[in-house]
Amino acid sequence: MIIGAALKGCATGIMTAAVTPTAVPPTPVTQSFRVAVMPVAQAFRPAVPPPQQAATTTADTRPSFSEWLAGVRKEALTLGIRQEIVDEALSNIDEPMPVILERDRAQAETVFALETYVSRRLTPKFVKLAREKYASQRTLLDQVGEKYGVPPRIIAAIWGVESNFGRFSGVRPTITALATLAWDPRRAAFFRGELFKALEILNRGDIELARMRGSWAGAMGQVQFMPSSYLLFAEDYDGDGRRDIWSTPGDVFASIANYLKGRGWNAGGSWGREVKIAPDVAKKIVNDVDRRNGSCQATRNMTVALPAKRWSELGVRALNGKSLPNDLPDGAIVSGTKQHYLVFPSYDAILDYNCSHSYAITVGLLADRLATPVKPAAAAPKKRTARR
């Protein structure tokens, strides 16, 4: 399945929405926009788009893996990780895992427009599955949504996009994956930090080593949290004393909701909506409206937020061609090649989960589909072949 995505320079010229797949700390992206093509569980890593880091050592000068690992063990003990946890987690790693390094090197090649990405993700089959899963977990999702002030359908959409509703949450042993990436010079400092945080999770007894699995880049469980996000946001919703993002639905949903809440989701808010922008209006927006600043590329590929009244003056219309309601919250414009979205403050929480407009718009649109009742079979549109 295709999931990382990037936007090319768009035809309207409003802006590009380059997306760096966050599962993997991105290699420098300059003028071209790339996309990673990888399985779901391996693509998105919420919350931790690490800054670019220069390699601090080279392959020629760095210590052997076993010497390096001895240093990690020592440091883990000084950080308060219990001896038996350190022994269990680090004793059986003899060498870096080649497949992890291969995946790390192979990321990011294909480029998709926002629209292409969305249509590839939101296939009729996927949306049907999403509706089934949403219905089957509705009671629990509603309870969690109520507690955290996040719409249940947004929680379900992230669950679906991150792990295909728990079907693919990654099979790689997290400690081994992180040790491999921490030893490799490319993003060593970032992954070393995540490795210690993963050991801390084991130290707390939330999960056994054998079950601590996830993507090749260290994103764990059905929510695809990096260990640092886990420590900040994972929740023990069912109250059994463990924050189980691998197999306890309540913990999974509450952890997603707690993340969004922690990152500024406005209770009662909506992510945004598609709007109509004619090409000349798009050009005017490019010339007259500032882009946002931000630490990730996606936040720089959107406008600043403006009141709906201002967007109306510039010529932005509702999708049906009518004027925008004046009571909308201030919003920013995110553009694909043809489609445009007015996104509200809560959108930032989704973007924070994974800093990619393709990701965040997909989540928003999927959530909208979940809000729409399933059509009777007779009225269902003809099945189309997914574009591949």
Q: Which residues bind Ca ion (CB under 5 A)?
A: 236, 238, 240, 242, 244, 248, 251
> Least Å distance between CB 196 and Ca ion?
23
Which CB, 241 or 264, lies closer to Ca ion?
241
Which CB, 203 or 354, lies closer to Ca ion?
203
Question: Listing from the earlier edge strand, what are the strands of the sheet with 332-335?
Answer: 317-318, 272-276, 340-343, 332-335
> Least Å distance between CB 254 and Ca ion?
9
What is the phi-psi region of residue 24: left when phi exceeds 0, alpha when psi lies from -120 to 50, beta otherwise?
beta
> Least Å distance between CB 237 and Ca ion?
6
Which CB, 86 or 245, lies closer to Ca ion?
245
320 phi and psi, to 5 degrees?
-85, 5
From 317, 345, 315, select the one nearest 329 (Cα to Cα): 345
> Least Å distance between CB 147 and Ca ion?
14
Structure tokens at 80: 């308060």
- The CA-based diameter of the chain, rounded to the nearest angstrom, is 68
> Least Å distance between CB 206 and Ca ion?
8
Which CB, 242 or 284, lies closer to Ca ion?
242
Which CB, 62 or 147, lies closer to Ca ion?
147
Which CB, 165 or 246, lies closer to Ca ion?
246
> Least Å distance between CB 231 and Ca ion?
15
> Least Å distance between CB 47 and Ca ion?
20
Structure tokens at 351: 């973007």
> Least Å distance between CB 236 and Ca ion?
4
Q: Which residue is nearest to Ca ion (CB)?
A: 236
Which CB, 21 or 250, lies closer to Ca ion?
250
Cα 193 to Cα 2, 178, 183, 226, distances in angstroms: 29, 9, 12, 11
Structure tokens at 78: 């000084």
Which CB, 206 or 348, lies closer to Ca ion?
206
> Least Å distance between CB 251 and Ca ion?
4
From 337, 236, 249, select the one nearest 13 (Cα to Cα): 337
Q: Which residues contact 150 (CB under 8 A, 6 or more apart)?
A: 144, 256, 257, 260, 261, 265, 267
Angle between the N-to-C axes of helices 152-163 and 249-262, in degrees from 0 to 180, rounded to the nearest 10 = 110
Which CB, 51 or 205, lies closer to Ca ion?
205
Question: DSSP letters of 164-201?
Answer: TTTT----EEHHHHHHHHHHSGGGHHHHHHHHHHHHHH
Find the DSSP H helices in the chain.
Answer: 40-43, 65-78, 83-90, 98-106, 114-121, 124-136, 138-148, 152-163, 174-183, 188-204, 227-233, 249-262, 279-288, 297-300, 308-314, 347-353, 357-371
